[in-house]
Chains A and B, each alone.
Chain A
Amino acid sequence: MTTVTKAEGAPAPTGPDGFLSVRDLQVTFSTEDGPVKAVDGLSFDLDRGTTLGIVGESGSGKSVTNLTILGLHDPLFTTVDGEIVLDGKELITATEKEMERLRGNRVAMIFQDPLTALSPFYSIGRQIAEPYMKHNGASKKAAWERAVEMLAKVGIPNPKERARDYPHQFSGGMRQRAMIAMALVCDPDLLIADEPTTALDVTVQAQILDLLKDLQREFGTGIVFITHDLGVIADMADDIMVMYAGRAVERGTVDEVLRSPQHPYTWGLLNSMPRLDSDLGTPLSPIPGTPPSLLTPPPGCRFHPRCTFRDRVGGDRCATERPLLAPDRSSACHLGAEQKRTIFVEEIRPRLG
């Protein structure tokens, strides 16, 4: 790589409580074709009871980041550097035993495809009761009652009877509800939701998203919400982090990122997405090219080969120097702050209709 300044390594902007803080996270997989740096110098914070939305395309490292937080990566082929601190506890160096005590208890996860994430051999009720028994030392009977209560809470009709059913007897939306019940059964502080609604129909997606929001309000859970859909993020998140090729390129509150975005990649995403109220006369303006391979990522700014604004930076700065991302509201781009604002207001905004 060329000049990579120590990006994002700055000390934590200790937020109100800095409940989860990730600092300069690097995840490298060794593959047959060489090392793949799936996450490269990522830092973010999450406060209790808030939602951080991570948006990005496939291969941008958003899922890998969150598997690493839970320690679900394969330790044989993965090297992890940096810091993940959950409520004062360092997770990267934690032993497997310590992680086991956290998983399902204080940190839980909802996966994209509920059919593969649920075991076909055990009844739904038993799968929900299991973490409760393990972490709270509850009796079988008490755990079962808790499972039925959770199923009722997530809106499964006749929870007493349905708890005895197996995953194949549930519809897609109901399975995702069961997954949510399972994740929340121990009242975790942190919930990682990895594309939880991508496999669902729109009307069911709307139900599940509202359910997550309402449950968050009740349980006070911090949520890391991963998705590729900007609409879903706008609906769910308090803060947004946009990822591209293993790095965060822009962050800020929902309002800031969606209403006055500053990074050319975010502009590209907004411009290429048809909306229900967008102008029909103008064709969509897609981002040219394709996402880079992480085996040989482009030097400097990883977005520069697809960026239409790089000539406005001048010189070959984009191709040689990695742009920094400040801890607060910022975007990792060499364009000047004033330049970004004028480009957005004069060129991008009008196209959004």
Chain B
Amino acid sequence: MTEDLVLPAGRGTGDAVAPEPLLQVSGLVKHFPVKGGFPIRRTVGAVQAVDGLDLVVHAGESFGLVGESGCGKSTTGRLITRLLEPTHGTITYRGRDIGHATRRQLAPIRSEIQMIFQDPYSSLNPRQTVGKIISGPMEINGIEPEGGREKRVRELLEIVGLNPEHFNRFPHEFSGGQRQRIGVARALALEPKLIVADEPVSALDVSIQAQVVNLLQQVQRELGIAFVFIAHDLAVVRHFSQRVAVMYLGKIIEVGDRDSIYTRPRHPYTHALLSAVPEVNLVSGEGPQRERIRLAGDVPSPISPPSGCRFRTRCWKAQDKCAAEEPPLIRLSGNRDGHLTACHFPEEPTTEPRDEDIVLDPALTALEDRPAADAEAEREG
């Protein structure tokens, strides 16, 4: 179903053919200023949270955004919902650029793009009843549904699997999973076309996570709402999204249909990310079924990201070209339509174990294959 999806291949060449995408983002940039200095505080730098991002979301599809903390995935979500204003770039929603639209211009669109937040505790007003929380969006937009708002609230509570009788209760009377359902009901109240779900299940217990994932999936299928699903858990994203984009330090480094990303990844970072997911091996007696890649250190600071390819400082294939030239997000030969990778020296499209594990962490190399002299040299260096 995702074969015919068309993606922007880098800035400028994103001439999407029919059908018109619901949301198209191109060249999106968000820099947060860093202030410092005394006595006059001035801008001394910028956190380059999102730095040149292109993506397309079609009506009714679920688009996953994965990456580690600080890669800009939440900022992207907030830019799409226009809770933040982008520094540069355009956000085209149904043919209209809302990137720099004013409050007034945004008003009619706000109801169509809703958000589900990560923390079900801080995202609900503790002083309002559930009924008030869910009918809030209708009140603000002056919507008077047939049969009154209360009836609609009861309907919504039923859709998300809560007891409709509970509309008079307060958030503290519900458990974490139930609160997240209230958040979903609120997002559905205005019959949106696009929901941005920012880590909707990561604050929940494992047994509750599945309940909420199933609910979101049901909502997405039955009501035909497009989702931008932001999460750091690769297995959950795989389960939920038809197309997935992998972010690293403010850029999309690989995007494609689910199958391509999870079984035929090309970017070294995608390989590293997939190999790092701890998995329950349900079949006993078999050796490692996946490659083992252990990176060194953490993600660099987005205040002064590396030049060229941003992953090069942790990449085992990096060469001079990577520092000098930023790799464009393009379709590599052998990749499916819509599977784009930003890498000069892509990996083989497989996740099978390699002949030799890639272990970049100095402590691990020292402990694992200790030719003593080597380990010593490593330590001194």
Contact = CB atoms under 8 A, between A and B. Distances in A.
Interface of A: 57-58, 152-155, 157, 159, 171-174, 177, 201-207, 209-211, 214-215, 217-218, 228-232, 234-235, 255, 258-259, 268-278, 280, 283-287, 290-291, 352
A165 B185 CA distance: 47
Contacts of B364: 155, 207, 210-211, 214
A218 B234 contact: no
Contacts of B297: 157, 171, 173-174
Contact of A275 (B235, B258, B273): B235
A174 B363 CA distance: 12
Contacts of B238: 274, 276, 280
Nearest to A255: B284
B363 A201 contact: no
Given A214-B367, A235-B278, A275-B280, A203 B68 contact: yes
Contacts of B69: 172, 201
B282 A352 contact: yes
B282 A258 contact: yes
Given A174-B298, A287-B207, A218 B367 contact: yes
- B interface, over-half SS: helix
B278 A57 contact: no
Contact of A234 (B235, B272, B278, B298): B278
Nearest to B212: A286
B253 to A, nearest CB: 13
Contact of B235 (A152, A276, A286): A276
Given A234-B279, A286-B208, 15 more contacts: A157-B362, A203-B68, A210-B364, A211-B364, A228-B206, A230-B280, A258-B282, A271-B210, A273-B210, A274-B213, A276-B262, A276-B274, A278-B239, A286-B211, A287-B210
B367 A231 contact: no
Q: Which one of B205, B208, B294, B368 has the greatest number of beta carbons of chain A within 10 Å?
A: B205
Contacts of A276: 234-235, 238, 262, 274, 277, 279
A203 B295 contact: yes
A231 B299 CA distance: 23
Interface in B336-381: 361-364, 366-368, 379
B273 A203 contact: yes
Of listed B234, B273, B280, residue having the most chain A CB within 10 A: B280
Contacts of A258: 280-282
B206 A206 contact: no
Contacts of A177: 363
B129 interface: no
A317 B299 CA distance: 54
24 contacts: A155-B296, A172-B298, A173-B298, A204-B68, A206-B275, A206-B276, A207-B296, A210-B361, A211-B367, A214-B368, A231-B278, A231-B279, A234-B281, A255-B284, A259-B284, A268-B207, A272-B207, A275-B235, A280-B238, A280-B239, A284-B213, A286-B210, A286-B214, A290-B178
